[in-house]
Structure formats: C-alpha cells, structure tokens
Structure 1
Amino acid sequence: MQLVFDGHNDVLLRLWTHERDGADPVAEFLNGTTQGHIDAPRARKGGLAGGLCAIYIPSGDLVFADPDENGHYETPLAAPLDRLPSLGIATEMAAIALRLDKADAWRLCRSVKDIRKAMAEGIFAAVMHMEGCEAIGADLAALEVFHAAGLRSLGPVWSRHNVFGHGVPFAFPKNPDTAPGLTDAGFELVRECNRLGIMIDLSHITEKGFWDVAKTSDQPLVATHSNAHVLTPVARNLTDKQLDAIKECNGLVGLNYATAMLRADGRSDGETPLSDMIRHVNHLVDRVGIDCVALGSDFDGATIPDEIGDAAGNQKLIAALRDSGYGESDLKKLASENWLRILASAWREKDV
C-alpha cells in the first residue's frame, strides 16, 4: 500500500459543524462515522496517512448556480466576512485540532520530521492549514498566535475577497483572471509567512494574485488542490502559464478530486470515472514534471468520484495510476514524498 499524505481536506469544518449539533469531534474522528469522507478508521483502510487540514470559515450566503442549457454556470462570489466572528470560528476549529492531538486521535505536526514519525507510527499526521485568512486582521497579530498553535500553511483567500486579496468564483467556463490580486496587506502577509515559515497556498486566488505572490515570496509556488485549466476550464484550475511558473521554481500542484474540476463538462457529478483523474495527473506531470505533482483531495469539501467514495477508497486512485503506467517510485512521489519535499522547503527544514 502506498501511504498518502494529502494536500487538502475540510475535516475540521465537518467536525466543527457536527460539534455545534452536539457531537463529540474526538469520538467522531477516532471511532468513525458514516458521514463525510475522513475519520481514523477510513483513513487507515485507504492508506491516508495525513494531510493539510483546513480551518475554513463557511459562507452562509453562497448558493451554487445551476448550469444553463449549455452546461455553463457562474456562482457569484460570497460576500466578505467580518473579522471577529471569523476569528471566533477559526479559534474553535483550532481547538478541535488541538483536542484531537491531545487525545492521540491524530498527531498535529509542525515539521516534516513530525509527519514522518506519525506516519511510521500509524497515527494520522495532521498539519493545520487556514483556507482564507478572514480570521487574521491586517495587523497580522493573530498570525503569530495561530502559528504558535501549529498553523504551518495558509491560503490568503478563499473564493471571496478579503483584506488580503481577491478570490476566483466557481464558474465554468472561466479563466482565473477575474479580479485584482493582493492588497498591500496581502503583500505584507506573504512576507510575514516567509519569515515564519508558513507555506502559502494559491488554490483560490486570482491569476493576478498568483503572480503577485510569485514576485514577492521566497518559497516555491504551491497550489494545494487545483487541476489543469486546459482540460477543465473552471476558474479554480491553473492555466498552463501558471503551471510553467510552478515548474520553474520546483513548486507543487495537488490534484483536486472535486468532480467539477476534473470533468471536461465542469459538472459536479459523482459518476465521474477515475480516467478523468488520470487525465489531469498526466497533463500535470507532462507540464511540471513528476516531482511537482501530488494529491490534494478536497475530502469533506467537495463531490468526489463515487468510485473513490471517501478516504477508504484512496488506494483505488493509486491502483489506477499504477495501471496507467506509473511505477512504484513515481507513485511514492505522487502519494507523499513530493508533499514532504515542498513542506520542508517552505518550513526551511534540512534534515527530513
């Protein structure tokens, strides 16, 4: 079994939502559930050894647009969020991550050494990520606090605008050049992440924002959960020009399992064959090289192919990649080693 370290999931959002309904998030993760995609039993069954676990503040006003007769759609951007309520929710999600760590339900990792140790011991290696930085004010004081709590990766924006920059809408067909890029506060956020050793994720940012980060950051460029725009022209996917920039700096792109980002018709439909996933992996590998492609499932945050189902089905993708010609050394890179390399680079670790 190829152990998988995954670049993006929303399990903290699911656990936080269920806790508000009275559930115990530690018991739900540790003992398993029939809901969502990730818990400890299903992760073990599917070889999901860890991943970047997102703190994400939901947008209650977001309603996904229905496709028109041509299959085209454009969902209006969610409204910006107020900072203080966002900070409260983010703190609650971080607390769940810390409680899971304290209960040995998972290991909250702050280094690649931590990740490797947890994987070797069969404990889910969780890295705290923030998807959209509404909880962090322009003064960046909260960034220091979250970093102390374990935050090691963030995306400045989700698919909405905030004080740091602009996000792309959920739209098909659409290119990612939809709005301006970073604000002055966004440039400062990038510089501070570089100082602290927090990886910067470009998955939801506009194309102008992508290039703003590229000219400012001293880290390799990373899109944790994005696919190839030339194959599925949704605004969230990366153009070949962006992929070329990722290759040039030895960065990384994580394959998103979301069916709307895999299918040629851009539809969210569980009846999506694994061949669509292979098609994107092949293009990404051809464009950026085997060392710059990994997995970024979006488990617990998207409609994924029914054939995978949840974390327990992860090895079906590995098997499909193997059947399509990828050898074991390349599969190990795609499944985990490429992520560990890029995290070590962003976190300035030498001994990994």
Structure 2
Amino acid sequence: MSTKSIIPVFDGHNDVLLRMHLSSQQDEDIAFINGKTDYHIDLPKAKQGGLVGGLCAMFVPSPTSKADDNGDFLPPLQSDALNTTMAMAATLARIEKRSLGALKICLTAADIRNCIAAGSFAAVMHIEGAEAIDPDLDALHILHRAGLRTLGPVWSRPNIFAYGVPFRFPSTPQIGPGLTDIGRALVRTCNELKIMIDLSHMNEQGFWDIARLSDAPLVASHSNVHALTPHSRNLTDDQLDAIKATGGLVGVNFGVLFLRQDGRKDANTPLEMLVRHVDYLVDRVGIDHVALGSDFDGTTIPAAMRNASDLPKLIEALRDSGYNEAELRKLGHENWIKVLARTWGQ
C-alpha cells in the first residue's frame, strides 16, 4: 500500500477502556501499551494504522443484557456507575504514566496537535451515558477537573437526564420524551464548563431539546445517515441540517448495524457501504462537518477492516471515491480538532 495512504486519524469514539475493564487478563495496561491484545485498538495497532488519538469512552453496561418489553435497557445505579467510571478513568491515567509519553490525556486542542506532532496517542476522556453523575452534578465538576472533556448524556436507555434512543430497525429516532429538568441543568453546566455534549444515542426529542438549549456546536460523535440506513440510532436529514447550521460535526460510525440498508449485524459488509455514508454526509452538510467515529471495540465492524491497523484501507477507499489529500486530512483529524477547539473555547 502506498505511504500516502497514512492519513492521521483522530477518532470520535472507542470503547477500549470498557474492554480492558471487563478483561480477566493480568496487567492489561502493559498489554495495551505493548500490543498483546485482541482489541481493535492498542498502541502498536494505532501506530500502524495512523490512529493518532480519539475520544476514549467510559461506558457502564446495563445490569442485565436483556431489554424490557419496550426494547429499553435498564440504567445502572448511580453509585455503581460512578465506581466503574472511576475505574476506567484510573486505567487511562495509569496507561498515560506507564506508556512513558506514548499516550497523553488531552485537555485542549493544542494538546491534541502536540501529540500528533510528537507521535503520541492523544486520548480525550469521554463519558457515554451520564449515569455516574448525580442529580446535583457534583460528580460532573470533579470529573471535569480530572480531565473529562466530552460527555453523552445518555446511552440507548433512559436515565435521570433524558431518554436514550433504543436500538430499533427499521425505526425513526423519534422514540420517547426529551430532556428532564435535570438534563437541562446538565446541558447548561456542560456549556459553562466547556464540555462537549455528544448527541449520539440521543433520541430525536432530546436532540432538539439540546439544539434549542446549547450554545455549543452540535456534535454526534458516532452516528450515521437515517436516509440510507433507517436505524433509530442514525440521524435524519433535519438533524444533519441542524448540526451543519451550528458548525458542528458528525463522526461516521463503522458499525455494520448502522451502515447496511437491511440493518443486519453482518461483518461481511464492504467498506463501500461506509464510504456511501461519508459521501451522503459530505453532500448534505459539507466536508468541514464530517469526520470518523469508529466505535472500535464497541460494535461489529466490516471484516475488511479488522482493527485500527487497517485504517489505511478506509482512507484508500475514500481516496478511490474521489477525496483529495486536503479533504482526507479534514475527514481524518482536522475537523475533529476544529470542532473541539470551538467547543472548548480555544
């Protein structure tokens, strides 16, 4: 493969911290640093594929894997969620220390740029589903001081802040109510603290509630196009237009559930389907508002791209679709850095 294929990629979503938290392997931190894992992401795979960093999610699974009669997952208890979130945050902090500069927790856009220049993995601490945060938002302030810079109020389940959109196909995202009073307080406080609010997993009513309330760019870190794949997790054209109007961004999810027209969980999904979603988004909202949000280590991705080391295959597919080098840099990392800089007030 040509060396020009190595475009630096800053990625909008991965779940590697959860995989590490659930793993029974001893000394998981060192395994991640040295690459002795079967994860989509570890440091050697990232280096090989040009993955220069991303939003590292702290997600707390539901207490049961089974949904209720409405297809909704139960949220974890706040105390359990906080303990688990703290454990994942500690994992990221240990990796930063033990990696001797190979991974850095980034608090600013300048931090991300400096990591890319130095060849370090630029990790941004992210919460996916805010069950760890109490109604008074005390934990939000403490987590922000600890390095939290982006937050999704919900995963695909209801909590005290909002109603996460369940996984349904075919379905619109218009399922359930929007923000609660506590949810509105969360959005306002995130704006004050300059924490990016992630709209992926938000149902449509919650999306519009945040759009009316937030003063930051609208960002969906790992979501795709509903017009192409009518999954409840994907974004409608009206939502895409609202994201564009605020100077926001959509990170394209690699999950086959959200790429395929039939909504099947089939890894035998060609990369062209992923490119098709990128093309639609670029046509709809413009090249400056589209990026990548892989969902590595959190979903089934196309078998042609086994893990982060294969990111050059996607870049090559995008190049074959007509994207030039400047556009590939925007899709790969520049758009993410730009929207984070705007959101963080830098």
What band does the TM-score fall into relative to the shorter chain? over 0.9
* 1:89 corresponds to 2:94: no
Of 205, 208, 212, which aligns to 2:209?
212
Normalised to the residue count of structure 2, the TM-score between the two structures is 0.96
What residue identity is the alignment partner of 2:97?
K
Paired with 1:216 and 1:206, the residues of 2 have a C-alpha distance of 16
Report SS of the residue matched to 1:203.
coil
Please name the residue that 1:304 is paired with: 301
Normalised to the residue count of structure 1, the TM-score between the two structures is 0.94
Report SS of the residue matched to 1:51.
strand
Shift of 1:233: 0.4
Cα pair distance change 1:4/1:78, threshold 3 Å: same
Structure 2 unaligned spans of 5+: 1-5
Of 74, 77, 90, which aligns to 1:79?
74
What residue identity is the alignment partner of 2:88?
M
Please name the residue that 1:171 is paired with: 168
Please name the residue that 1:71 is paired with: none
Please name the residue that 1:3 is paired with: 8
Please name the residue that 1:59 is paired with: 62
Paired with 1:53 and 1:116, the residues of 2 have a C-alpha distance of 17
What residue identity is the alignment partner of 1:11?
V
Report SS of the residue matched to 1:160.
coil
Cα pair distance change 1:75/1:180, threshold 3 Å: closer
Paired with 2:124 and 2:82, the residues of 1 have a C-alpha distance of 19
Do the aligned partners of 1:75 and 1:170 also contact (CA within 8 Å) in 2? no
Shift of 1:75: 7.7
* 1:346 corresponds to 2:337: no
Do the aligned partners of 1:5 and 1:48 also contact (CA within 8 Å) in 2? yes
Residues 167-217 of structure 1 deviation map (CA, whole Å, 9 limit, x = unaligned):
011110000000001100000000000000100000001100000000111
Of 15, 18, 33, which aligns to 1:13?
18
Report SS of the residue matched to 1:171.
coil
1:189-338 → structure 2 map (5 Å cutoff):
189-338=186-335
Report SS of the residue matched to 1:228.
coil
Identity %: 55
Cα pair distance change 1:2/1:75, threshold 3 Å: farther
Report SS of the residue matched to 1:172.
coil
Residues 277-326 of structure 1 deviation map (CA, whole Å, 9 limit, x = unaligned):
11100100111100000000000000000001100001111000001100
Residues 225-254 of structure 1 deviation map (CA, whole Å, 9 limit, x = unaligned):
000000000000000000010111110000
- Count of residue correspondences: 339
Paired with 2:270 and 2:120, the residues of 1 have a C-alpha distance of 31
Cα pair distance change 1:45/1:64, threshold 3 Å: farther
Shift of 1:101: 1.2
Paired with 2:319 and 2:106, the residues of 1 have a C-alpha distance of 29
Paired with 1:190 and 1:159, the residues of 2 have a C-alpha distance of 18
Shift of 1:28: 1.7
Paired with 2:246 and 2:154, the residues of 1 have a C-alpha distance of 22
Paired with 1:63 and 1:285, the residues of 2 have a C-alpha distance of 37
Shift of 1:161: 0.5
Do the aligned partners of 2:61 and 2:76 also contact (CA within 8 Å) in 1? no
Paired with 2:187 and 2:238, the residues of 1 have a C-alpha distance of 21
Report SS of the residue matched to 2:157.
coil
Paired with 1:63 and 1:123, the residues of 2 have a C-alpha distance of 39
Report SS of the residue matched to 2:53.
strand
Report SS of the residue matched to 1:152.
strand
Do the aligned partners of 1:62 and 1:77 also contact (CA within 8 Å) in 2? no
Shift of 1:329: 0.4
Shift of 1:62: 2.3
Paired with 2:29 and 2:76, the residues of 1 have a C-alpha distance of 28
Paired with 1:249 and 1:179, the residues of 2 have a C-alpha distance of 25
Please name the residue that 1:43 is paired with: 46
Paired with 1:86 and 1:64, the residues of 2 have a C-alpha distance of 18
